[in-house]
Each structure stands twice: as C-alpha cells, then as structure tokens.
Structure 1
Amino acid sequence: MLSNLRNKLVRLLKDDGGNFAILTALALVPLFTGASIAINLARINLESAKMQDGLDAAAFSAVKSYGEGANEAKAKDLANNTFFANFGTPEIVEEIGSEGSSAPVESQAIKVAFGTLGVETTATATYELKYAPLFWGLKPYTIDRASVAARMPGREACMLALHPTATRAFEVSGSASVDTSGCTITSNSTDPQSIYLSGSATLKTECLYTAGKVSATLAHLELACPKAVEEVAPISDPFGSKKMPTTGSWVSLAGCGQNFVGGGSGNGDCNGTSKTPNNVPAGYTVELKPGTYGGLEIKGKVLLRPGYYIIDGGNLKFASQSVISGEGVTFFLLNGAQLDIHGGSTFKVSPSLTGDWAGFAIVAARNNTATATINGNSASSLAGIIYMPASKEIQYAGNGSTGGECVRIVAQEITMIGNSSFKLDCKAALANNTINNPGAIRLLR
C-alpha cells in the first residue's frame, strides 16, 4: 500500500499539471492571509472612525448639558444615548471584558468623567471594544478611543427668567433704575417681547440674553456688550437637581408677643429662645430659632438665629415697621407658602454658607406658583440666591444703594419695580454658586 502511494506521488510530481496545482495552493496561503489582514484593517479603521465620531458627539453633549445645570447622572445618560445614536451596533466587535457575554453592545455604557481645565469644564468620554477578526490566523484586536470636550463658562447672570413662552418674562418699566453691571439678564422665553424695557426706567447691564427678542424703548439703556444676544438656546434650571427639605412639627410662637410676630400671644417663653418680659423696653429684640413654621409674619424687631426657616403653607411676611436681622439664614416656602416683604420693613439677612442650600436666601418648592413681592429700602440688605423656579412672577425692588447687593434671582417671570443694583463678585455670599449663560464648547482631542 505504501509503495502504491509513493508511486502515485512520484507520478504527480513528474506531471506538469500536478506541479501547478501544488504551487498554486502554496501561493494562496500568503495571498489569503494578506487579503484577510487588509480586510480586517479596513473594518477596524471604519469602526475606529465611527467610534471617534460617536465619542466626540458624546463628550460635546455631556459638557453642554452639565454646564447648563444637569447633574452628572443625567449628563452621562445623555452622552451614552448620543454615542450609540452615532456609533450604532457594530456586529464585528464585542465589549472588552465581556468574556463571551451575549449582551448587546448598547448595554455597555461609555465612560464619562467630568473635570476642569483652568476655568473650563471638561468631559472625557472613553470606550473600548474587542475586534473579532474575520477569517483565520489573526488574534483579537482592541479598539479604544477617547474624546475630551471643554466648555468656557459664559457670562454670569444676575437674573434668569425660566418661562419658555411668556410675554415680558423679564421687565423693567416705569421709573425703575436697575444696575447689573458685570452680570447679565437672561430670559428663556421665545416671545418677541421676551425682555421688555420701557418708560422712563434706566438699565445698566453687562448684556441681555434671550431665546426670543428684546423690546427696548427705555430712556436709558447701557450694555457692556456690543448688542443684546437674541434667539439663543435657553438655560436649564441650574439648581433643578437640588433636593428640597421636608417639613417638621411647627415651632410655637406663643409667648413671643403679638407686637413682634403674627400669632404671638402674651408675654412669656418665646419658643425656647428667651422669656419676653411683660413690659418690653424700647428697642427690645425677640429671637426666633430655625425650624418649621405654619406661617411667619414679623411685625417688630426680631433676630433670626442661623439655620433653615421652613414656612409650611402659610405666609412669610415682613410687615411695615418690622426690623429683621439674621446671619446664616435660609427661608423655604413649601406647600404653597407665599412671600411678601413690605417696603416699610428694614432687614439685613444673609444666607447660610453650609449645607446643600449654601448661598441661598429664599427657596420655593418647584410646584409653588405663587407670585412674590420683595421691596427693600436704603437701609435694607438681602444677600443670596432667590430661587423660586415655579413662581409666576417675582416683583423685586432692592435697596438701590451704589454698593449693590449680592443677589441672584431665578423665577418664571421677573419684574423690576424699583431701584436695584447688584454686585458681581459675590463668591463668598453665594457659596460659589453661579448662573452662567452658555459658553463656547470646543473639542480638545
């Protein structure tokens, strides 16, 4: 049998056709290998380009949404969805570390990390996949790409009107005099009169930003920028992810004196802070402690101890002739509570600089649509962020002093009804919270 096989092989080698078949078969091996490498490299390059484009879009969307107020989780979700909308579902790759898992590629989220580069906010998006080669003889190849996008913060806003369509979402009219030098006024409304400026009022501001148009016939309008910026993208609620506090048992106002607080009765122990005398001397001050109040109307001279003052459904009112002082104080208006700060009151209140709501002076629940009035006078001072995101309208008049106040306002609509000036450099008073207009975004790599 071996002899027969040997004889056949000899005849095949002597045959010209047999030699050609063997040589052809041997030559096909490197040709096939080369073609396999070329095809796989082309497919790898295609997937790499698609991955890079998807990561660029993801990093861009992440830093944009994060810079406009979204928390990290929401920004990462958006980036992930953006990536796969661009990258698609590559059938020729599998996720690194999947160990044979049959889970679809879409379930493997990209990695997104936020950071800073100088004054810019950055988002870095990365992704890795293992390429399973076609044909044979090639080892799996890892495809990994990264993209970094950076956003320069836009000009800081003193006031932000959130309503998307309201006419006169921000208004200065009558004889009001408003100075927000160094910071901007921003309205999300797309209305032709989104920002409305008229009458004998005067306005001095860094710039005007609006998703709609500016209607201005003011006697005096001074902008530091070349002109108002119209039809820009709206700003997301910059504080929309913050968690509201919960109400507790109401603090009793019994014994605080009816001439000092609404609902106060008799003279005696005032909610554990002090004992109000029967015959109060001139200039006597009642002290109140933080906690939950069904309502709080201040009528006399009152000192607020530091902490959170939660108004549960009633009114927070500073009446005429009231004198209020307090450091480290934040008011919360929950369950439909309303705000009325009368022009005849004198107050000097600054916010708490610790906790989740550091830098906030007045906060209303996100379902609280009640209008609010804040009237100051030349002897009054209010510092901090007035955050009433659902309030149909805030009517605001500050103290009008040349020194200005460290105040920022966020509401659906804002109307300036008196003389006000605002400071720009308020990092300490606002606990580093800022409201920034959208800035330019660039890809670093």
Structure 2
Amino acid sequence: MLKPLSHRLKKLRHDKRGNILLLAGAGFSVLVGAAGVGVDAVQWYLWNRQLQQAADSGALAGAHALNKGEEYSLTARTELERTANTNFNVERLTNPPESGKYAGDTGAVELIATTSRALPFSSLFLIDPPTIRVRAVAATISEGRHCVYALAEDGIGISVQGNSEADLGCGVLSNSRGKDSIYLHGSSYLTATPISAAGGIYAEDGTYPADASLQPFGIAKDDPLADRGLTVPAHGPCTTNFRLRPSESATVGSSDPTAVHCFRGGMDIKGTLTMRPGVYIMDGGSFKSNSQASITGRGVTIILTGSEPGNVATVDLAGGNFTDLSAPTMDQNPDWAGILFYQDQIGSNQRSKITGGTTLKMNGIVYLPGGDLDFAGNSGQDSDCLLLVAKRVGFAGDSKLKNNCGDMLDDYDLSTRIIRVVE
C-alpha cells in the first residue's frame, strides 16, 4: 500500500499541471493585500484632508475671536470639534505661533491636531497605526491699497448706480456692516480691486471685472486720517457771501501759504477765481460753482464748517468749465499737507457734490468724515492722486481716479485687514 502512495507522490512532484493554480493563488493573495492597503491609504488621505479643513476652520475662528478681544483657545477648539468628523488630539494651540513664517505674530493663531486609528488591512502589516498630523495658522494681514473709504457703520457705504462707470485704479472700502455695504446696481460698472466691506457686497452681474477681488464681511477699518487730529483752525474776520458773476474774476488769499481766510456763507463762483496757496474756511453755505466757472488753486485747503450739522458748509462743484485744485505740500503747510477738502467732524445734513465739467483736475485728499459725497467725473477728468474719505460715497457719470500719489500718502495705512489661513 505504501508503494502505490509513494509512486503517486513522485508523479505529483514531477507534474507541472498545477503550477499555474499555485501561482495564481499566491498572486491573488498579494493582489488582495495590495488592494486592502490601497483602500486604507485612501482612508488615511481622506482623514488627513478632513482634519486639515477642520484645523483651518479652528484656526480661523480663533483668529477672529482674537481680533474681537475674546478667548481664542475655546473658540478654536469648539470650531474644531464642530467640523472634525474623526477623533483627534490637539497637539498645539497657541498665540502667537511657535514656528513657521508667522512665529511671534501676536495677531496669528497656530493649531496642530493629530489622529491615529487602526484599519483592517494595514493592521496586518503594521504594529502601530500611522499618525496623521495637520497644522494651520490663521492671521490678520493687510492687503490692497484703497483710495475710497466710506466710514458709515450701517446702511449703504459705497454705491455705483445707473449708467455710471467708476474706474478707480485702486481699491474701495466700506465700514458698514449692512448687507448692502457696497451696492453695485443697474448698468453701472466699478473697476476697482480689492472691493472690501465690513458687511455684505451687493453686486449684480456685469457690474465689476471678473478678476476683481471681492472681500465681504471683513474687518472694519479705522479712519486712515484720524491720527492727524484735524480741527477747524482759529481765524480772523470773515468775508460774507462771496459771489462772482459770470463776467467777473477775482484773486483771493495772500503771499503766506499758511494764512487762514474765512468766508461766511461760502463762495458762489460763476466767474473766474484764482486762489493763492493758503487755508480757506467756508463757514456755512457751500463752496459752489456752475457751468461757467473757472477755478484755479495750487497749495490750497478748503475747510467746510458751521455751528451745527444743519449749517455745516458743503462742496457743490457742479460741472464747472474748468477746475484745477491741488492740496499744499509739506513745505507749503505741514499742518494741512495733502488735504484738499476737509469737513468739520460734526458732519452735515446735506450731501457734497463734485461733478466734473469740461476739465476737472483735483489732487489731494477729500476728507469728509461726517458727511456724504457724490462724485461724478467725466472724460476731461485728470486727477493723478485723489483720496476720498467720507461717511458715504456715491459714484455717477464716468469717474476716473488715478493712484499715482508718489510719497504723499505714504504716512497713511490704506490697506484693509483680513483674516485668512496663511500656513
């Protein structure tokens, strides 16, 4: 009986017909194992991606809380727990960050989280499951350069409506937290970037370029000129109700570029006015021109004031034939350098209007912190450097501003602050 068995085993040893089956069986085992490890690798990648997104959200929430003066750590952990769909450990949560480009930045939050779980296939080959580690840093950063600021904290701050086109060559920023903080409507078109708002941005299709950077619900910006501490200066006797008829011309001011000249009831200009360098106070009324007026002034600051908001002077440049005004330099008047128009902080119940005529040249800062401004340029506008800061700003017509200011605005922070994931 043993002889036939040994004979059969000998034949089996030399038989090649079963090799393919054995090789297929061995190969199939390797294939199944590789597929299993591949499935586990996909799961690891998914966990890494999900945990990274949760860490980003947590760091952002912490940075926002930090900006508001709140406890950043609790806020960041709460957001991380809300958005993470896997178990995790917080390895580091700190302000300022301890590593990376933003190490030591007091406006930044660093969050490092880990997760580690065994999976069916990989656990056959690995003693310990791999640890997935993610890191996120969120910080408050400055971005962009703006030449139009609306300081109102509610309602519409900046509007472009009707058929107007505003080509600004810089950014616009509204401090309003309203849902329509910036309002772009109808056939209007705003060429500006960034378009920044503390509230929402209402922009209909085709009202801004495709490459414009829209930044809604950002951080409100402090008045960029507040640190100047501008106030209405003391002055002597005032000229009352200054008027120029269409056929008349006049020159005002003196040889002293720091001298202060007062006009009670403002100026109503229909003729030709030359303004020497100096400070011109409009006490009530308005600084007003019509279609026949011609106004020239280099090194001038025009101050709008009154006893209360109901009678504070305004600007009303309504399509004059020729307007060429520029602010004083530091050498001419260090107290008012760069300021072309300044309205008393108490503001005005009336809107100021700057409407371009045949030629409109204005260079300097239009600063109406408590008043509203309507700006409408035209094809004859040529303003190399014009910064508009008002409570609210509305654009009409063809408004074009250039941003070639040289060093005149270097002392002002004209950026906006945004919170984003930076690492």
Settle same-fold status: TM greater than 0.5: yes
Aligned to 2:196: 209
* Shift in alpha-carbon separation, 1:151–1:198, aligned structure 2, 3 A: closer
> Per-residue deviation at 1:320?
2.6
User: What code does the residue aligned with 1:158 have?
Assistant: C
Aligned to 1:332: 303
* Shift in alpha-carbon separation, 1:302–1:258, aligned structure 2, 3 A: closer
> Are 2:280 and 1:309 aligned?
yes
Aligned to 1:286: 250
Aligned to 1:188: 175
Question: Could you tell me which of 347, 356, 378 is aligned with 2:335?
Answer: 356
Question: Could you tell me which of 356, 365, 369 is aligned with 1:389?
Answer: 369
User: What code does the residue aligned with 1:186 have?
Assistant: L
Question: Could you tell me which of 263, 285, 290 is aligned with 1:319?
Answer: 290
Structure 1 unaligned blocks of 5 or more: 1-59, 66-77, 83-121, 124-149, 261-281
In the alignment, the residues of structure 2 paired with residue 199 and residue 301 of structure 1 have an alpha-carbon distance, to the nearest angstrom, of 38
Q: How high is the sequence identity, in percent, across the aligned residues?
A: 26
| 1:73-152 matched pairs, under 5 angstroms | none
User: What code does the residue aligned with 1:337 have?
Assistant: A
* Shift in alpha-carbon separation, 1:432–1:372, aligned structure 2, 3 A: same
Aligned to 1:259: 245
In the alignment, the residues of structure 2 paired with residue 333 and residue 346 of structure 1 have an alpha-carbon distance, to the nearest angstrom, of 21
Contact 1:199 1:219 in 2 (8 A): no
User: What code does the residue aligned with 1:162 have?
Assistant: L
What are the Cα deviations for residues 51-75 of structure 1, in whole angstroms up to 9, with x where unaligned?
xxxxxxxxx9xxx99xxxxxxxxxx
Question: Could you tell me which of 225, 243, 249 is aligned with 1:239?
Answer: 225
* Shift in alpha-carbon separation, 1:249–1:218, aligned structure 2, 3 A: farther
In the alignment, the residues of structure 2 paired with residue 397 and residue 204 of structure 1 have an alpha-carbon distance, to the nearest angstrom, of 15
> Per-residue deviation at 1:223?
5.3
> Per-residue deviation at 1:330?
0.8
User: What is the number of residues matched between the two proteins?
Assistant: 277
In the alignment, the residues of structure 1 paired with residue 204 and residue 419 of structure 2 have an alpha-carbon distance, to the nearest angstrom, of 31
Contact 2:244 2:269 in 1 (8 A): no
Aligned to 2:94: none
Question: Could you tell me which of 142, 149, 159 is aligned with 1:160?
Answer: 149
* Shift in alpha-carbon separation, 1:329–1:402, aligned structure 2, 3 A: closer
Contact 2:321 2:358 in 1 (8 A): no
> Per-residue deviation at 1:434?
5.1
Aligned to 2:322: 346
What are the Cα deviations for residues 165-192 of structure 1, in whole angstroms up to 9, with x where unaligned?
11x22110101011122x2111111111
In the alignment, the residues of structure 2 paired with residue 389 and residue 408 of structure 1 have an alpha-carbon distance, to the nearest angstrom, of 13
In the alignment, the residues of structure 1 paired with residue 317 and residue 410 of structure 2 have an alpha-carbon distance, to the nearest angstrom, of 24
In the alignment, the residues of structure 1 paired with residue 219 and residue 410 of structure 2 have an alpha-carbon distance, to the nearest angstrom, of 27
SS of structure 1 residue aligned to 2:287: strand
User: What code does the residue aligned with 1:340 have?
Assistant: D
Structure 2 unaligned blocks of 5 or more: 1-62, 72-104, 107-138, 254-259, 307-311
Contact 1:358 1:431 in 2 (8 A): no
In the alignment, the residues of structure 2 paired with residue 205 and residue 405 of structure 1 have an alpha-carbon distance, to the nearest angstrom, of 16
Contact 1:247 1:292 in 2 (8 A): no
In the alignment, the residues of structure 1 paired with residue 223 and residue 147 of structure 2 have an alpha-carbon distance, to the nearest angstrom, of 14
Aligned to 2:42: none
Contact 1:302 1:324 in 2 (8 A): yes
> Per-residue deviation at 1:222?
1.0
> Per-residue deviation at 1:238?
1.5
